[in-house]
Structure 1
């Protein structure tokens, strides 16, 4: 079901290639001219280097160049994101187990802050863990899972206090030319060593009425595999 939503949002002509273990465990994709260059994924990978897991996406243009326009208000505002959907369990990132699709996302949103402990992050690209689920109300078929009013689910220490399954850890994140990288200590996500993954670029939108779903994936720009099948395999860097 999920693969249908993601594939339907892809521009025509996108093609993905999964390299075999003899070459690498990354996911590669052919350039797609219909996709904006800064979001046109060419390759995505997660590798381990010593005691660190490094998440990398390479695009056809300059990574991070394009950002959503500010609207001046939270409701109806937009988010751009470079995303790594994974096979991790939500329990491995500090939430209750088996809640949905765990993804690391590097986001930019000029209209609100969602850093941990009241920090400011609206003017910089920054990482989040998010837990996603299907929702037909969202243009991209997926949402960040809402926390219903009156419930108290398990959340990580760096949960930003919003009613969503979202975490705001302070991981080193860098943009260099055509690539975006995030480095995470393996001690914080030990399960990543055996994980599968994919690469996605997407736009998200805050519900204008501030009701559930509060944060939708509104537009999938590109999926590295073409079908969100998580063909990448985390492996040590060579």
Structure 2
């Protein structure tokens, strides 16, 4: 699945502009009774509207109602996420260039806080920019990219101080029955206008020994496109 994702990203980056514009701006998927309803994606989209970028995913029902069981420890704890992988470059969201797959994620984790400047965000759904990278040590084949000890890479102002390429901007996550939505300012993110994307629901896990990879994709509940080939196109909202 990871190989398909990376190949799909490369293909999206080389498509002629006329063909990119012809692609459907949203991604629709058939319901799957084997997938838990709150993570069973049936439609996902990214649009721009009124100076904002709107990330929206519709699931079969009860969006946001499933959250990980608390463990009482950071080590080995779990994260649930609604994720929008994109073709953005990591430099577009404040990191060094060409670091991996840039994704916006709406996440919930009851056992730790990773808000900017020490803000508390456990027990609530909240948003992150993350940079994902391939790692065969992870059950899902991907990790949030680690920051090696002793290095000082470029990070955004709202980086939470953890050794990962993760950003914690204060963009609210909202739910409405079957839909999850995150709205972020368009200003400073002009590259999103020509981006491609996909939609994923997933579970992540913190390494039990706090070794790299520190945060792995452990379970992929559903991929909107079925192939992680980023077929969606960001379009002006209706």
Normalising by structure 2, we get a TM-score of 0.91
The residue aligned with 1:206 is: 206
Displacement after TM superposition at 1:173 (Å): 1.8
Listed one character per residue, the Cα deviations across residues 38-88 of structure 1 (whole Å, up to 9, x for unaligned) are: 000000000010211100000001110000000000000000000000000
- Map of 1:146 onto structure 2: 146
Distance in 2 between the 1:158 and 1:21 partners?
33
Q: Give ranges in structure 1 of 5+ residues lacking alignment.
A: 7-19
1:145 deviates by 0.3
SS in structure 2 opposite 1:106? Answer: strand
Q: How does 1:14-163 map to 2 (within 5 A)?
A: 24-163=24-163
Deviation at residue 5 of structure 1 after TM alignment:
7.6
Offset at 1:21? 7.0
Output the CA distance in 2 between the equivalents of 1:91 and 1:145.
Answer: 14
For residues 57 and 32 of structure 2, the distance between their equivalents in structure 1, rounded to whole angstroms, comes to: 15
How many angstroms apart in 1 are the aligned matches of 2:62 and 2:189? 29
SS in 2 for 1:132: strand
CA distance in 2, matches of 1:236, 1:204: 32
Cα distance between partner residues in 2 of 1:23 and 1:60: 24
Q: Structure 2 stretches of 5 or more lacking a match?
A: 7-19
Match of residue 217 from structure 1: 217
Asked whether the equivalents of residues 3 and 227 of structure 1 are also in contact (C-alpha less than 8 Å), the reply is no
TM-score normalized by the length of structure 1: 0.91
Report what 2:237 is aligned to: 237
**Distance between the aligned counterparts of 1:184 and 1:194, measured in 2?**
16
The answer to whether the 8 Å contact 2:48/2:235 transfers is: yes
Cα distance in 2 for residues equivalent to 1:202 and 1:74: 19
8 Å CA contact retained: 1:3, 1:229: no
Partner of 1:15: none
User: Per the alignment, do residues 133 and 226 of structure 1 end up closer, same or farther by CA in structure 2, a change over 3 Å counting?
Assistant: same
Contact 1:27 1:43 (8 Å CA) reproduced: yes
Shift of 1:190: 1.3
